[in-house]
C-alpha cells in the first residue's frame, strides 16, 4: 500500500520514485505506455484493414487517419472511438490494392 501511495504522489507531482532500489521516472513510464498503446492501436487497425480487404477486394480508398477510422466505424470493422486519429497516418496505394499505415509521432 505504501508503494502505491508513493506512486500516486509521484504521479501527481511528476517526479521520480524508487521501487526496490530502482529509480523510475514517471514521464518515461508514461511515454513508454503511450507508445505501447499506439502500437496496439496500429495493430488493431491493420487487422480491421485485412478484414475489409477480404470482404471488398480492396483497402479503403482514403488518405487520412480520421477518415479511415470513420469509415471502419461506419462499416462496423471497429467499434467505439478508442483511437487517437492524430497518432497515425494512412494512405491508400495502387487503387486500393495496398496501403501505408504508420505512426506519425
pLDDT band at 21 (very low <50, low <70, confident <90, very high): low
Please list the alpha-helical segments (H only) found in the chain: 2-13, 26-56, 65-74
Alpha carbons 31 and 68: distance in angstroms, whole number: 25
Q: What is the pLDDT of residue 95?
A: 94
- Predicted structure pTM score: 0.68
The pLDDT tens digits of the residues spanning 27-46 come to: 777 778 777 777 888 888 99
Cα–Cα distances (Å) from 100 to 9, 48, 103, in that order, read 42, 14, 10
Domain range summary for the chain, segments of one domain joined by +: 2-103
pLDDT band at 11 (very low <50, low <70, confident <90, very high): low
Amino acid at each position: 500500500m505504501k508503494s502505491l501511495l508513493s506512486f500516486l504522489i509521484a504521479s501527481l507531482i511528476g517526479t521520480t520514485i524508487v521501487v526496490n532500489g530502482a529509480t523510475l521516472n514517471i514521464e518515461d513510464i508514461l511515454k513508454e505506455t503511450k507508445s505501447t498503446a499506439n502500437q496496439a492501436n496500429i495493430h488493431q487497425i491493420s487487422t480491421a484493414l485485412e478484414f475489409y480487404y477480404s470482404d471488398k477486394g480492396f483497402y479503403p480508398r482514403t488518405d487520412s487517419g480520421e477518415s479511415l477510422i470513420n469509415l471502419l466505424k461506419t462499416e462496423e470493422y471497429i467499434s467505439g472511438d478508442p483511437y487517437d486519429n492524430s497518432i497515425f497516418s494512412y494512405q491508400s496505394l495502387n487503387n486500393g490494392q495496398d496501403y501505408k499505415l504508420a505512426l506519425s509521432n
